[in-house]
Structure 1
Amino acid sequence: MKRAKTQSHLERLDKLASMLKSEDFLTTKDLSDALNVSTRTLFRDLNILKARGMPIDTDKGRGGGVRLHRQWGLGKINLTTSETIDLLISIAICEKMNSPLFMKSLNSIRYKLLALLSPDQKANIKALRNRVLIGSSASPQVHASYEQSQFPECHALSAAFLYQQPINISYIDEKKTVTERLIEPHYLYFNYPVWYVFAWDHLRQDYRTFRIDRIQDSNVIEETFVLRPFTEFSHLIATDSPILL
């Protein structure tokens, strides 16, 4: 009986929230009649929704109105796993930059993002975050060459990284030599403002680092690779101590 009553209350709160979202102005009588509750119960429900973060404005007095704040128009955001990992990585990069501005809410934003996910999605994102490393700033020489780079489309590389798929790339090195490579993108490494991919290179049969801005054409292979432990790639970082996200 108690569980049924609780479920009924939750359904009523959902209906009330939907009504507030769908109408610009409703009177307390409209809401009470639609929900078949007393005015006292209605205001108790409105206070619950306010506590959950809905910005509800109420006009006191007979025939008083209830509405969402006029500046509020955003409900729950449904994010894909890739969108969520993009946001979490962006937050980690901002934290690493240690800016004194606009950083106060990052922890709470991260927790709210994680709260949107199922246990399986959380496990997947945790595994992905452990494959992304944040270093310090790149050298002046790297900065200069990066600023002169043509920035390629990276959707194929992102997909290959996320789903552990090999990828064919055309790569241009610092001597402007272009080679065709088949690589397994195991880890990503950010040395501001430059991204690198730590990969197993089938051409060299060895571990290699590729600057992402030097990757030209790319084509994902429809198969998967087994993730190698980071210890097998750690020698690729000469002096910097990376932070796992």
Structure 2
Amino acid sequence: MAGSRSIDRLRRLELLAAQLKQDEFCTVNGLASEMGVSGRTITRDLLLMREQGVPIDADRGRGGGVRLDRNWGVGRLNLAYPEAIDLLISIEVAQKMESPLFLANLASVRRQLVASFSPEKRKRVNRLKSRILIGTTASTYVQAGIALPPKRLVQTLHQAFIDQELLSIRYRREDGAMSERQIEPHYFLLKYPVWYIIAIDRLRDAPRTFRCDRISSAARTGASFRLLPKSDFAQSLKDDDLRV
């Protein structure tokens, strides 16, 4: 347990350094809220960072903030495993979309990330990549009606997708009616900029497609499901020019 706490603190110190370097003005309370710890914990962390030679400036008085010297570098990037997976999958999505700009070094970044994984983790990442599909760009009509889902909802969908876990969702149909569903999130489909879940709907025991921005709530159930091949969802995908 003590070792786990030490790892947590080391990770928090890295994130603190990055946050302070990124933002011109941070408060102890704001940092505490961002890290999910108490203000006293952040104060102790900042003291430790100063003792280690990190140049932290502080404004005195009510509402005072803390920041890093702008000429100081945070150091080399050190990603946690889930962050590395997210970055790698984002790179794959960008490459599948075949944008001509800002892609020159993505292959090199991808190779370095993959090289940092164990063989088993590489297999897991490859399985995840194969479950993300890129379709044609959404119509202007669809784009006009999209709304950004809340961060917590996105995180729930994301984790259930990775863990192949059954989801209970509340879904708004195109006609505005709400319904309760239990779905197996087998594949994600991006029809830029709209994300869809290609799923098995337990209510109908059949494949269905759900727009992520129409999901008003989602809860993980703890029940896992067996991944089905894309061919089982051919009807849901037949109208898409997919790059998979």
> What is the TM-score of this pair, normalised by structure 1?
0.66
> How far apart are residue 74 of structure 1 and its match?
2.2
Q: Alignment RMSD, CA only?
A: 1.7
The 3-state SS of whatever aligns with 2:195 is strand
* Cα gap change, 1:150 to 1:75, in 2 (>3 Å): closer
Equivalent residue, structure 2, for 1:151? 149
Q: Is the 8 A contact 2:168 2:221 kept in 1?
A: yes
In 2, distance between residues paired with 1:183 and 1:73? 42
> How far apart are residue 98 of structure 1 and its match?
3.2
Amino acid at match of 2:80: L
The 3-state SS of whatever aligns with 1:200 is strand
Q: Superposed, which structure 2 residues align to 1:90-129 within 5 Å?
A: 90-129=90-129
> How far apart are residue 128 of structure 1 and its match?
0.8
> How far apart are residue 239 of structure 1 and its match?
2.4
In 2, distance between residues paired with 1:201 and 1:97? 28
Please give the per-residue CA displacement for 1:17-38, whole angstroms capped at 9, x wherever unaligned: xxxxxxxxxxxxxxxxxxxxxx
> How far apart are residue 76 of structure 1 and its match?
5.3
Q: Is the 8 A contact 1:85 1:129 kept in 2?
A: no
Amino acid at match of 2:173: D
Amino acid at match of 1:75: R
In 2, distance between residues paired with 1:239 and 1:218? 27
> How far apart are residue 156 of structure 1 and its match?
1.2
* Cα gap change, 1:229 to 1:98, in 2 (>3 Å): closer
The 3-state SS of whatever aligns with 2:174 is coil
In 2, distance between residues paired with 1:124 and 1:230? 17
Pairing 1:75–2:76 present: yes
Runs of 5+ consecutive residues of structure 1 not aligned to the other structure: 1-69
Equivalent residue, structure 1, for 2:237? 237
Percent identity (aligned)? 38
* Cα gap change, 1:103 to 1:150, in 2 (>3 Å): closer
Q: Superposed, which structure 2 residues align to 1:19-58 within 5 Å?
A: none
In 1, distance between residues paired with 2:243 and 2:134? 5
In 1, distance between residues paired with 2:112 and 2:234? 32
Equivalent residue, structure 2, for 1:197? 197
Equivalent residue, structure 1, for 2:171? 171
In 1, distance between residues paired with 2:101 and 2:231? 35
> How far apart are residue 73 of structure 1 and its match?
4.1
Please give the per-residue CA displacement for 1:26-56, whole angstroms capped at 9, x wherever unaligned: xxxxxxxxxxxxxxxxxxxxxxxxxxxxxxx
Amino acid at match of 2:196: Y
Please give the per-residue CA displacement for 1:83-140, whole angstroms capped at 9, x wherever unaligned: 2221122112322343333211010010011011011110111111111111121112
> How far apart are residue 220 of structure 1 and its match?
0.3
In 1, distance between residues paired with 2:94 and 2:148? 24
> What is the TM-score of this pair, normalised by structure 2?
0.66
Equivalent residue, structure 1, for 2:17? none
Equivalent residue, structure 2, for 1:45? none
Aligned length in residues: 172
The 3-state SS of whatever aligns with 1:113 is helix
Q: Is the 8 A contact 1:169 1:181 kept in 2?
A: yes
Equivalent residue, structure 1, for 2:181? 181
